[in-house]
């Protein structure tokens, strides 16, 4: 029993000495661990708060009654202080749309080009590219719109991309190619998808225009054919008169 007590005493002394020797390291390790846990929690909470502030700014920016000065103030705040959130890209889209509505096409195109290049996440960036392409079509720059669309590499938005490609081709007068693009867009859309009826109308429009062209083309060439038919008769009459 004495040996056991002695052994226990010796073991306790060894533990005490080890603690004295390593106390600083243990305390530091505990502090680092606690800081990692609570610091990570605080960082997460700060990120949530940061995004919440950005969302609030964006919601105020999108108020229907907002004036230009306040709108621009929210836009600057979002793009400068909250550029690491999706709301910065959404703000750029909203600003460009506002400028388009105010007939400020050059400013709108510049903003859309910036958003199409830098907006995050990918979904917002794709939407910016699509809006930029539509704005380019409206500005009479269908070829640039096609280049913008063709540069998109994304698994999503295939229906929307095909529709905008059809719009650009239609603007260039390439009706058959536009119709094919619209039909391709429909293949990616569910039966009840929003916007499907509009794409179906575009397909019908391309078909109607093609039919109209085919129907009117012979009528346009008929007078020329008639003139050619009259030429021999005229020549014969001239021959008889001379004889």
pLDDT surpassing 80 at residue 233: no
- How many structural domains is the chain composed of? 2
Together in a domain, 115 and 173: no
**How far from the centroid of its chain's Cα atoms is residue 223's Cα?**
51
Which of the pair, 2 or 208, is modelled with greater confidence? 208
3-state secondary structure 196-211: HHHHHHHHHHHHHHHH
pLDDT surpassing 60 at residue 221: no
Together in a domain, 78 and 118: yes
DSSP designation for 62: T
| Residue range of the domain that includes 87 | 66-154
Structure confidence at residue 1 as a pLDDT band (50, 70, 90): very low
Together in a domain, 187 and 138: no
pLDDT of 42-59, one tens digit each?
546 676 787 788 888 888
Together in a domain, 102 and 122: yes
pLDDT surpassing 90 at residue 179: yes
Together in a domain, 100 and 112: yes
Phi, psi of 171 (to 5 degrees): -65, -30
Question: Which pLDDT score, from 0 to 100, does residue 142 have?
Answer: 94
Q: Is the pTM of this model over 0.75?
A: no
Residue 155 in 3-state DSSP? coil
The number of residues making up the chain comes to 243
Together in a domain, 170 and 136: no
Structure confidence at residue 170 as a pLDDT band (50, 70, 90): very high
118 touches 132 (CB < 8 A): no
Question: Which pLDDT score, from 0 to 100, does residue 150 have?
Answer: 87
Cα-atom radius of gyration of the chain, to the nearest Å? Answer: 36
pLDDT of 65-96, one tens digit each?
889 899 999 989 988 888 888 888 888 888 88
Together in a domain, 70 and 135: yes
Residue 231 lies in a domain: no
Residue 146 lies in a domain: yes
Residue 100 lies in a domain: yes
């Amino acid at each position: 029993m004495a040996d056991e007590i002695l052994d226990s005493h010796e073991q306790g002394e060894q533990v005490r000495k080890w603690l004295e020797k390593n106390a600083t390291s243990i305390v530091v390790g505990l502090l680092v661990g606690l800081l990692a846990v609570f610091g990570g929690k605080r960082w997460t909470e700060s990120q949530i708060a940061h995004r919440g502030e950005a969302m609030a700014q964006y919601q105020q920016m999108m108020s229907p009654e907002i004036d230009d000065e306040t709108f621009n103030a929210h836009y600057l705040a979002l793009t400068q202080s909250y550029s690491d959130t999706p709301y910065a890209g959404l703000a750029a889209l909203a600003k460009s749309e506002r400028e388009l509505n105010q007939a400020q096409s050059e400013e709108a195109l510049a903003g859309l080009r910036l958003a199409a290049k830098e907006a995050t996440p990918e979904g917002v960036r794709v939407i910016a590219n699509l809006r930029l392409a539509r704005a380019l079509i409206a500005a009479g720059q269908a070829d640039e719109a096609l280049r913008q669309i063709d540069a998109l590499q994304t698994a999503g938005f295939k229906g929307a991309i095909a529709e905008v490609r059809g719009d650009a081709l239609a603007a260039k007068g390439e009706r058959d190619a536009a119709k094919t693009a619209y039909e391709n867009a429909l293949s990616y859309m569910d039966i009840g998808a929003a916007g499907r009826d509009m794409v179906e109308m575009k397909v019908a429009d391309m078909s109607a225009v093609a039919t109209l062209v085919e129907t009117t083309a012979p009528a346009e060439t008929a007078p020329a054919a008639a003139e050619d038919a009259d030429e021999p008769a005229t020549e014969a009459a001239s021959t008889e008169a001379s004889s």
